Amino acid sequence: MNLFKKTLTLLTALVSMAVGARAATAYLIGDSTVSVYSSTYFPRMGWGQVFQNSFKSTLVVSDKALSGRSSKSFYDEGAWTPIKSALKSGDYVFIQFGHNDEKTATNLHTDPYTTYQQYLTIYINDARAKGAIPILVTPVERNSWSGGVVKATHGTYPAAMRALAASKGTPLIDLTAGSTAKYNSQGQTYTTYSIFMNLTAGQYPNYPSGNTDNTHFQQNGANIIASLVAGAVRSSSNAQLKVLAGYLK
């Protein structure tokens, strides 16, 4: 009997250790600037598609972002439901919406200081209820220039997200500001042709006639934006992001 009890105690301890050693998961939810693309779209990539490269294997990046979604449609279409169900204590949820919330279509549009904040709050509260850590990410800036500097294109959505992060005590990565600073430092020509999907004819087999796109990233751009997000995690003074920084390479 004593041997049985000792064996049972050892097995219980081993199971507990295995559960405790489970790799944390960082879920990414957002729009096409974050999402994964098949090889038929190469070199187009979302920054989330390469985000795993910044982390050790003890953090698994699960990119669930979907092209064309807003904070409203991602929830209303049910895309959040399986993520919410899968969340475990100690997981992370990166939340970047804004590009499509700005659109006028009723299935997409949100108002910055009302419905936008309300949908973001759903993700925050649901994540916290499962013991996960929500992280708000302001929308990455587009390639729009005026007078030799990057022009803001997201209206008051970034400010509304910042305000919500402050009121909810939620970690925030200001990717709007970070990407704007990066583009300005690189200059308009490099940003246009080496970060965004502006391609010349014959440059890539998937785009034989070239391409013009100042919203989405080519591979180099995705790597740059992913590095900005990882860098913001590394340099943050937020206690929860400091823990996440421990997973960085």
Among 132, 204, 143, 140, CA closest to 170 = 132
Tell me if 95 is assigned to some domain: yes
Tell me if 17 is assigned to some domain: no
Round the average pLDDT of the chain to a whole number and report it: 93
Q: What is the mean pLDDT of residues 73-83?
A: 98
pLDDT of residue 11: 37
Nearest-angstrom CA–CA distance, 51 and 223: 8
Q: How confident is the model at residue 22 (pLDDT cuts 50, 70, 90)?
A: low
* pLDDT of 206 above 80: yes
Estimate to the nearest angstrom the gap between the alpha carbon of 13 and the chain centroid.
36
Tell me if 6 is assigned to some domain: no
Tell me if 77 is assigned to some domain: yes
The number of distinct structural domains making up the chain is 1
Tell me if 60 is assigned to some domain: yes
* pLDDT of 14 above 50: no
Q: What is the mean pLDDT of residues 30-48?
A: 98
Q: What is the mean pLDDT of residues 46-52?
A: 98
Q: What is the mean pLDDT of residues 23-40?
A: 97
**For residue 40, which amino acid is it?**
T
Tell me if 84 is assigned to some domain: yes
Q: How confident is the model at residue 8 (pLDDT cuts 50, 70, 90)?
A: very low
| CATH code of residue 190 | 3.40.50.1110
DSSP code at position 116: I
* pLDDT of 2 above 60: no
Nearest-angstrom CA–CA distance, 156 and 158: 6
**Full residue range of the structural domain in which residue 233 is found:** 24-245
What six digits make up the tokens of 231?
A: 């860098």
* pLDDT of 174 above 90: yes
pLDDT of residue 74: 99
Nearest-angstrom CA–CA distance, 83 and 60: 14
Q: How confident is the model at residue 23 (pLDDT cuts 50, 70, 90)?
A: confident
Tell me if 104 is assigned to some domain: yes
In the three-class reduction of DSSP (H, G, I as helix; E, B as strand; rest coil), residue 172 is classed as: strand
pLDDT of residue 101: 98
What six digits make up the tokens of 74?
A: 């991602």
Tell me if 154 is assigned to some domain: yes
Identify which has the larger pLDDT, 3 or 212.
212
